[in-house]
Amino acid sequence: MGRFSDLQQQTQGEKPGRVLTVPPTVWATTWDKKPAGNVAIGLRLLSEADLVTATAESVKEAARLFPNGGDDFIESRNGFLLRWMIARGICDPNNAEKPSEILPLAEDMVREALTDRGARWLYEEIERYDAEVSPIHRPITDDELRVLSQLLSVDDPFADFDPISELMCRRLLGHVLQELDEQGEALTDHLDA
């Protein structure tokens, strides 16, 4: 017969990769279940199946609204995709296998529950978490960090980049700057000096 602690651990499931504190400003004022205060939400990594489903469902929803395609279709599809990825990327803050208590039917609820900016913020957090743990990108060495510092110290470090590559680099560097800023006032003190 197993011990109670073994049984308890089996029912708890895997812990989420990260737990976010979500402020009330993320939730739409018109949503009838809007929390009054901060809410904890877990983040989990999306599977390939989640991505395929999110893509297929977002195309289907956008085609329903814009059957003739065009720019509106693309914008709509991107919005649906962002929200589907949020729905699949959030979970209970204590168990990655359970849905979030605030959005138990996330696929059906995110469009009405989140503001546009709130959805974008939550998506960015999921994307940031994925980038941090991704096995694709290795951490840079101290020598590479010095080279990066030199490359960024010129007036226009992205002068020869195509617009998409420049945007990607700026977004990734934005994540780095945000992470440094969250580590304390050392960055602010350094910049003010």
The contacts of residue 70 (CB under 8 Å, 6+ apart) are none
Helix, strand or coil for residue 85?
helix
Residue 9 lies in a domain: no
- Residue 5 lies inside a defined structural domain of this protein: no
Length of the chain: 193
pLDDT, tens digit, 9 for 90 and up, residues 44-63: 998 899 889 989 999 999 99
pLDDT tens figures, 69-102: 889 999 999 889 999 999 999 999 999 999 999 9
pLDDT confidence of residue 147 = 93
Q: DSSP string covering 136-184, please?
A: SSPPPPHHHHHHHHHHHTSS-TTTTS-HHHHHHHHHHHHHHHHHHHHT-
Residues whose CB falls within 8 Å of the CB of residue 35, separated by 6 or more in sequence, listed in order: 24, 27, 102
CA pair distance 140, 146, nearest whole angstrom: 10
Asked, for residue 82, whether it belongs to a domain, the answer is yes
In a domain, 168, yes or no: yes
**Given pLDDT bands bounded at 50, 70 and 90, which one contains residue 108?**
confident
pLDDT confidence of residue 9:
46
Please tell me the least confidently modeled range out of 32-36, 115-119, 160-164. 160-164
In this predicted structure, the answer to whether residue 3 has a pLDDT above a threshold of 80 is no
The range of the structural domain enclosing residue 134 comes to 14-192
For the chain, how many structural domains are there in total? 1
- Contact in structure between 30 and 115 (CB atoms under 8 Å): no
Domain-embedded: residue 116: yes
Q: Does a structural domain hold residue 67?
A: yes
Q: What pLDDT sits at residue 136?
A: 81
Residue 61 has what pLDDT? 92
Contact 58, 65 (CB under 8 A): no
* pLDDT score recorded for residue 188: 60
3: in domain: no
Whether the per-residue pLDDT at 179 is higher than 90: the answer is no
User: What pLDDT, on a 0 to 100 scale, did the predictor assign at position 23?
Assistant: 95
- 154 lies in a domain? yes
pLDDT over 70 percentage in the chain: 89
d(CA 83, CA 104): 14
152 — pLDDT class (breaks 50, 70, 90): very high
Do the strands 90-91 and 18-22 form a parallel or antiparallel pair, or are they unpaired? Answer: unpaired
Q: In terms of C-beta distances under 8 Å and separation of at least 24 residues, what long-range contacts does 123-128 make, across chains too?
A: 123/82, 123/85, 123/86, 125/18, 125/20, 125/43, 126/43, 126/46, 126/85, 126/86, 126/89, 126/90, 128/175
